A = this chain, B = another copy of it.
């Protein structure tokens, strides 16, 4: 390459702020920006986070970040959306299909607690960030919660359908109740995990299965607990 050509190239790089330093396909670049955003949001919280730091971390100019993802809110929503997708996929793949709802639930919960342990930044953004920051963010977090719960409802619904002697009086509302309780419990237990860093995800799952599964098996079988008189 001639000296002049190199100089022109360098000038183009310096003047064109919208141009990525490395040539990357848009989809790859976008993922890198979301990676950086996730780290900054997890570290600073939504309000204190600034797009400059995200751009720096992604090795890209701030206008480029805006070009790709629109705004700080857009960045945050992209984080929620991607990490929820990852979490749901991890749960779904682990829980799989099959005849044994206990096994599926156990595998799904292990994947959930494993994800939380392995992806701390993702979990901080999904679990601790404020739903009231904006209506768009609140809607996104509500949708994330619904999609996680839908996975669990599906699994429990399958258990009911196959369940012990066809407990036909249990339906979608019951599956949804169990899913609300389980997702809420699992959510809250990630705080317990933080207080007990020595407990592996498998241990947390085992404790939760012990606490709930026997009772759930009864519910699936249509048994009833009566309050003491």
Contacts and interface: CB of A to CB of B under 8 A. Distances in A.
Interface of A: 45-47, 100, 102-103, 106, 128-133, 173-174, 176-178, 180-189, 191-192, 195-196, 206-216, 218-219, 223-225, 227-228
A185 B208 CA distance: 12
Contacts of A208: 181
Main secondary structure of the interface of A (DSSP, over half): helix
Given A103-B227, A133-B132, A188-B184, A215 B219 contact: no
Contact of A185 (B182, B195, B196, B209): B182
A143 to B, nearest CB: 14
Nearest to A228: B103
B225 A210 contact: yes
B207 A177 contact: yes
Nearest to A176: B192
A218 B211 CA distance: 8
B210 A212 contact: no
B206 A177 contact: no
B225 A215 contact: no
B106 A228 contact: yes
A106 B196 contact: no
A65 to B, nearest CB: 22
- For A129, A173, A227, the residue with the greatest tally of chain B CB atoms inside 10 Å of its CB is A227
Nearest to A183: B188
Contact of A214 (B103, B184, B189, B218): B218
